Copies of this chain bind each other. A is one copy, B any other.
């Protein structure tokens, strides 16, 4: 065991009025919301990478965090796992997520990577069985190592494509072994630094084939979780192919995978793509591909991914409203792909960041549930479109042609008057539930 978090108590719900930093004020896992336990709504997951692998570095400076488990050996990897599960115990969240590179040291060969991954998968399995913590999703890190600098699936070198494919196989195997409920692909290097050296058409074909192979293999091994793509517009690349939800949808349609693959949407990535988080969620829901979420915000004024813990309840409320309206998570959940600030050095920073983030999410989801239950917002929305349900409107939409419609407009001298969109009133309404 590690004693990295020595002295930090298990976090319990103490209600909104307490003044204990190490307590939940809004997150009571057992509270019933819309007929379901709050824990089962939120399905919180802690990310291995930012929490246990991040060293506090940024492009202008090196490591600031001093974690005893930083090091190249399997013993370090196990010490890291011990610390991680100690934190999971303290927080009590039901899930975690990992990349292969988070849980095992990089080896010199594919074989060594595979063996180390297997050893650590077994080790984690033991800890999961002992603690009850589950795996929300696994994934392969196909972007950090220098071999992937020009992409993994979309690399100009078929050997890299092969290495990546083989690696994903091992990660799918590990995810399956650990009962993971989803498998995620984030294509951090699937894009380009300069269009000058890039063949967009060819790289898109490679990406399509790669994803098809992933879907096929998942089926073959009986993986009954969900395959998820995580969109991001750019960074580290100048352009990333999985730009946003709409782009991913077009890609899935092109390869006939829109029924096989869903999206894992991150607030920070939505922001970078010029969208609100709730837009991406609502769009994915409307297209039938809403899978899971990464709950880490961006600073709106920093043009890179800041991956901060959520702290604005009104924003989080709008996001969960879309999730709840879509029926809530099935295999998905709320993963904290959020990282401590470079200056947040201490063990308690790691705990408090999650405590605050979980509380903000809980408060947001509860407000969203009140709004959904109350029904006034949906009522207003439906009323706005009510004319489409009446009279000739359904037929006009279903069977009209420009000619028949033009005849009708002319005959009836249709001259529509606009109606107020009531934006401010609806914004006031939303604020009522907070």
Contact = CB atoms under 8 A, between A and B. Distances in A.
B282 A419 contact: no
A197 B428 CA distance: 13
Given A159-B387, A314-B314, A384-B197, A147 B302 contact: no
A216 interface: yes
Interface stretch (A68-76, A88-96, A343-351): A343-351
Nearest to A60: B236
Nearest to A169: B402
A235 interface: yes
A59 interface: yes
A416 B157 contact: yes
Interface stretch (A27-35, A38-46, A124-132, A355-363): A355-363
Max chain B Cβ within 10 angstroms of own Cβ: one of A243, A273, A425: A425
A328 interface: no
A197 B145 contact: no
B425 A149 contact: no
A220 to B, nearest CB: 8
Oligomeric state, in copies: 4
Q: Tell me the dominant secondary structure on chain A's binding face.
A: helix
Contact residue range for chain A? 35 or more
A311 B381 contact: no
Interface string A101-120: 00000001111001000000
A213 interface: yes
A352 to B, nearest CB: 5
A432 to B, nearest CB: 7
A210 B418 CA distance: 20
A113 B376 CA distance: 40
Contact of A396 (B162, B387, B427): B162
A266 to B, nearest CB: 14
Contacts of A272: 303
A422 B150 CA distance: 11
12 contacts: A56-B149, A146-B418, A158-B392, A165-B400, A166-B402, A193-B342, A194-B341, A196-B430, A200-B286, A216-B402, A238-B302, A355-B428
Given A114-B410, A146-B418, A349-B424, 15 more contacts: A59-B235, A109-B413, A156-B384, A159-B416, A166-B406, A202-B388, A209-B398, A246-B250, A246-B251, A250-B251, A273-B274, A275-B301, A348-B425, A352-B424, A355-B428
